[in-house]
Amino acid sequence: MPASVKLRIAGLKKSFGDKLVLDGIDLEVEAGSLLVVIGGSGSGKSVLLKCILGLIEPDAGTIEIDGRDILALPPEQRAVERGKIGMLFQNGALFDSLPVWENVTFGLLAQDRVKRAEAPALAAEFLKQVGLAETVGELSPAELSGGMQKRVALARAIAARPEMLFFDEPTTGLDPIMGAVIDGLIIDCVKRLGSTAVAITHDMASARRIGDAAAMINRGKIIWRGPASALMDSGNAMVDQFTHGRREGPIQMELRK
């Protein structure tokens, strides 16, 4: 019996002004699996995630979670659904007016799942998981390095143990060892908590480590789908060029014209 589909996207379109960014995206993510999305800079990967989160209103298409079309839900219901998705934003998006510990436990505090007095201690545990010392909790985000901010943002995204997790370039800006640690953490979340995840990445090593399935997006369309293990020898000219980082190939040809 095939695994159930947690997230199904069909015909998703979005333009900003006359710039077409998403041009009919079709995607499925199986429950409990991790889909890696690759694609060139500016190809619309972040916009795709924001559409699913309801932060950007798509022009056309459907987004189903557990078989329910979330675009058709009333706003309050959508806010509830959004609360079930953890998101690591590309630039971290930490609240710079709050200390790190409050950032990490923000979602839990908002849902009354932890008392304010107990939050710093709980935050320290999450920080330890992402390789940060307890003392970091008292700092403000502006006092952290870029990589540390990323890890705090990751801790914040997974703190509420959401049903679904989106990672927008989780390992960019981290050293290779920390990148591997974060990959392990992501795998752990997905496998142990049973979350379903979508990760955008430019890091092929990481993509093969964490991904079950993979998809490549180019010019607003999904041009390839397959198992993440097949990324490096997909047989698709565009994917090959991308994953091997070749300057010559079909993608550059498209840019030239």
Partner 1 sequence: MNALLDRIARLGRIVIAVLHSVGEVTLFGMAGVSHIFRPPFYGRAFGTAMMNIGFFSLPVVALTAVFTGMVLALQSFTGFSRFSAEGAIANVVVLSVTRELGPVLAGLIVAGRVGAAMAAEIGTMRVTDQIDALSTLSTDPMKYLVAPRLLAGTLSLPLLVVVADILGVMGGYLIAALKLGFNSTTYIARTLDFVQLDDVLSGLAKAAVFGFLIALMGCYQGYNSRGGAQGVGNATTSAVVAASILILAFDYVLTEMFFAR
Ligand X SMILES: Nc1ncnc2c1ncn2[C@@H]1O[C@H](COP(=O)(O)OP(=O)(O)OP(=O)(O)O)[C@@H](O)[C@H]1O
Binding site for ligand X (CB under 6 A): 16, 21, 39, 41-47, 90
Q: Does 95 engage in binding with partner 1 (CB under 8 A)? A: yes
Q: CA-CA distance, 107 to 89, in Å (whole number)?
A: 15
CB of 16 to ligand X, least distance (A): 3
Using DSSP's 3-state secondary structure scheme, residue 101 falls into helix
Over the window 141 to 180, marking each residue x when it contacts partner 1 by CB under 8 A and - when it does not, the resulting string is ---------------x---x--------------------
Q: Does 55 engage in binding with partner 1 (CB under 8 A)? A: yes
End-to-end CA distance of the chain: 46
Q: Is 231 exposed, middle or buried (0-12, 13-18, 19+ CB in 10 A)?
A: buried
What are the phi and psi torsion angles at 134 (to 5°)? -60, -35
CB of 48 to partner 1, least distance (A): 14
CB of 168 to partner 1, least distance (A): 9
CB of 241 to partner 1, least distance (A): 30
Q: Which does 96 bind (CB under 5 to 8 A by kind): ligand X, Mg ion, partner 1, none?
A: partner 1
Residues 6+ apart with CB under 8 A from 96: 140, 141, 142
Burial string for 94-110 (b: 16+ CB within 10 Å, else e) reads: beeeebbbbbbbbbbbe
CB of 119 to ligand X, least distance (A): 31
Q: Which does 85 bind (CB under 5 to 8 A by kind): partner 1, Mg ion, ligand X, none?
A: partner 1
Residue 32 contacts residue 213 (beta carbons within 8 Å): no
Residues 6+ apart with CB under 8 A from 95: 102, 103, 106, 141
Contact positions vs partner 1 (CB under 8 A): 50, 53-55, 79, 82-83, 85-87, 89-91, 93-97, 106-107, 110-111, 156, 160
Which residues of the shown chain bind Mg ion in the complex (CB under 5 A)?
Answer: 46, 90
